[in-house]
C-alpha cells in the first residue's frame, strides 16, 4: 500500500505539469484579443478627429488688376477673386489673402514662402514655368490697344506737325533768319520812302513810320499789302521781296504739309501692324513689354495702367498696349478722358494660378477648376465680369 501510494504520487506529477501548461496557453489566447482591442479603437477614433477638425487656411497672394482684382474700401472683388472663392469652397479651405502692389511682388511672395499660391492676371509663359508651376488655364485672353478718342484726326495731326516744326532747331534757325530778313527789308524800304515826299513813311514820325513799313513787309508774305512804295528804288526792292515772299510761303507750306502727313501716318494706330516705330506705353514687368520690343515698337514702361493712360492723354506715347480685360475695363470707366480701343485682341495668352514648383496643392486646384467649368459655375462668373460672347455687359 505505501508503495502503491508513492507510485501514484510519482505518476501524477507529469499530468499536473501538462495541465498547468494547457491552462497557461488558454489564458494567453484569451488575453490576446483583449490586448489588441484598445489599439483598434484608438485608430478608429483618430479618423473622425481629422475629418471634423478646422479646415486648412491657404495664403493667396494677389494685387490690383481691374477687373480681375479690385480693392474697394478694403474688400477684394473681381473675376479672379470670385473664381478663387469658388475654388476654395469646392476644396473646403479657408483663404487668407496676401495683398501686394505689383506683379514682381506677387512672384516674390510665392517664391519666398509668404504665400502658398497667387492669383491675379498672371500670364503662363515658358520663362515663368521654369521657376514656378501653374494651374490649368483659368482665362484665355490677349493684348489690346488703346488710343486717344480724338474727334478731329486731321486737326490733331496738324497740331502735332506744328509742334514738331517748332521743336526742330533747324526750323527755328530759319525762322530767326526770316525775321532778320524782314527787319532788313523794312529798314531799307523805310529809309528809301522817307526821302520820297509821298512815300509810306514820309507822313509820320520815324518810329511810327518804321512800324508801318514792318507791317507792310509782313503783309506782303500773305499777299495782303494794302499799298506799295512810291520811291523807284523802293519799288525795285519790293519786286525782289515779293518773289522772295512767294518762295518763303511755298517752303513753309510744303514743310508743314509733309510733316503733317508724317504725323498723321504716325498717329494712325488701328492695330498691332501700326505699332512698329512708335512709342507705346504699357505696364512694367509684364508680357506686353516683351511683345512690343519683339515687334519693333519702343515700349515705355509705367508703374500702373493709370500712369500709362495719362501719358497717352499727354501725347508722350502714341498708344497703350496691355491685357485686354484690364484695358477694356479702364476705357469704359467714368472719371477720366475717353480712350478708344482699336482692333481686336492679339498675342493670345493664358492666365493661370501661380504655385511654387512641385506644390501638391496644384492638382487639387486643377480638379476644382475643371469641376467649375463642367457644371457651369465658371461661365456664370465669367459672364458676371465680362458679359456674354457678344460683348453685352451683365450686372455686377
The predicted pLDDT at position 84 comes to 98
Chain CA centroid to CA 70, Å: 14
Q: List Cβ<8 Å contacts ≥24 apart for 328-331.
A: 328/144, 329/66, 329/67, 330/66, 330/146, 330/305, 330/306, 331/146
298: left (phi over 0), alpha (psi -120 to 50) or beta: beta
pTM for the predicted model, two decimal places:
0.56
**From residue 163, how far is each of 35, 157, 195 by CA, in Å?**
97, 10, 43
In this structure, how many other beta carbons lie within 10 angstroms of the beta carbon of residue 143? Answer: 23
Burial tier of 322 (Cβ tally within 10 Å: 0-12, 13-18, 19+): buried
Domain boundaries, the chain: 170-261
Q: What is the pLDDT along the chain (396 residues), one digit of tens a residue?
A: 444 444 444 445 555 544 554 454 544 444 444 334 333 333 333 233 334 468 899 999 999 999 999 998 889 999 999 999 999 999 999 999 999 999 999 999 999 999 999 999 999 999 999 999 999 999 998 999 999 886 444 445 566 666 666 666 777 787 788 888 888 888 888 888 777 777 777 667 778 778 878 888 878 876 666 677 877 888 888 888 888 888 888 887 787 677 666 655 555 788 999 899 899 999 999 999 999 999 989 999 999 999 999 999 988 999 999 999 999 888 888 877 788 899 889 999 999 999 999 999 999 999 999 999 999 999 999 988 987 543 333 334
**∠ at Cα 9 (6, 12), nearest 5°?**
150
- What CATH code is assigned to 170-261? 1.10.287
Rounded to an integer, what is the distance from CA 249 to the centroid of its chain?
A: 46
End-to-end CA distance of the chain: 114
pLDDT value at residue 381: 95
pLDDT at residue 229, rounded to an integer: 81
Main-chain phi, psi angles of 119, to 5 degrees? -145, 135
Cell numbers representing residue 54 in the block: 478646422
Amino acid at each position: 500500500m505505501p508503495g502503491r501510494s508513492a507510485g501514484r504520487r510519482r505518476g501524477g506529477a507529469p499530468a499536473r505539469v501538462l495541465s498547468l501548461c494547457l491552462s497557461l496557453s488558454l489564458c494567453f489566447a484569451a488575453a490576446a484579443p483583449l490586448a489588441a482591442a484598445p489599439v483598434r479603437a484608438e485608430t478608429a477614433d483618430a479618423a473622425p478627429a481629422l475629418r471634423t477638425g478646422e479646415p486648412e487656411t491657404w495664403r493667396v497672394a494677389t494685387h490690383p488688376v481691374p477687373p480681375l482684382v479690385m480693392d474697394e474700401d478694403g474688400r477684394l472683388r473681381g473675376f479672379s477673386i470670385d473664381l478663387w472663392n469658388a475654388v476654395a469652397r469646392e476644396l473646403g479651405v479657408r483663404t487668407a489673402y496676401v495683398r501686394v502692389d505689383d506683379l514682381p511682388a506677387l512672384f516674390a511672395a510665392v517664391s519666398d514662402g509668404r504665400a502658398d499660391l497667387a492669383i491675379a492676371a498672371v500670364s503662363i509663359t515658358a520663362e515663368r514655368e521654369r521657376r514656378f508651376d501653374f494651374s490649368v488655364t483659368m482665362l484665355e485672353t490677349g493684348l489690346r490697344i488703346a488710343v486717344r478718342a480724338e474727334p478731329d484726326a486731321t486737326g490733331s495731326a496738324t497740331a502735332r506737325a506744328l509742334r514738331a516744326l517748332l521743336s526742330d532747331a533747324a526750323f527755328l534757325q530759319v525762322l530767326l533768319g526770316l525775321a532778320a530778313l524782314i527787319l532788313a527789308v523794312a529798314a531799307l524800304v523805310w529809309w528809301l520812302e522817307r526821302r520820297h515826299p509821298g512815300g509810306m513813311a514820309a507822313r509820320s514820325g520815324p518810329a511810327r513810320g518804321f512800324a508801318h513799313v514792318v507791317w507792310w513787309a509782313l503783309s506782303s508774305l500773305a499777299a495782303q499789302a494794302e499799298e506799295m512804295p512810291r520811291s523807284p528804288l523802293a519799288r525795285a526792292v519790293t519786286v525782289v521781296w515779293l518773289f522772295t515772299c512767294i518762295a518763303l510761303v511755298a517752303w513753309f507750306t510744303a514743310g508743314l504739309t509733309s510733316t503733317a502727313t508724317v504725323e498723321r501716318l504716325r498717329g494712325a494706330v488701328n492695330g498691332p501692324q501700326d505699332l512698329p516705330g512708335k512709342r507705346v506705353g504699357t505696364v512694367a514687368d509684364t508680357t506686353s513689354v516683351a511683345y512690343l520690343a519683339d515687334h519693333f515698337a519702343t515700349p515705355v514702361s509705367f508703374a500702373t495702367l493709370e500712369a500709362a493712360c495719362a501719358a497717352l492723354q499727354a501725347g508722350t506715347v502714341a498708344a497703350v498696349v496691355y491685357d485686354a480685360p484690364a484695358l477694356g475695363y479702364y476705357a469704359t470707366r467714368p472719371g477720366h478722358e475717353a480712350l478708344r480701343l482699336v482692333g481686336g485682341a492679339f498675342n493670345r495668352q493664358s492666365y493661370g494660378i501661380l504655385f511654387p514648383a512641385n506644390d501638391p496643392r496644384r492638382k487639387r486646384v486643377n480638379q476644382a477648376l475643371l469641376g467649375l467649368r463642367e457644371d457651369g459655375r465658371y461661365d456664370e462668373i465669367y459672364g458676371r465680369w465680362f458679359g456674354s460672347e457678344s460683348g453685352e455687359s451683365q450686372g455686377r
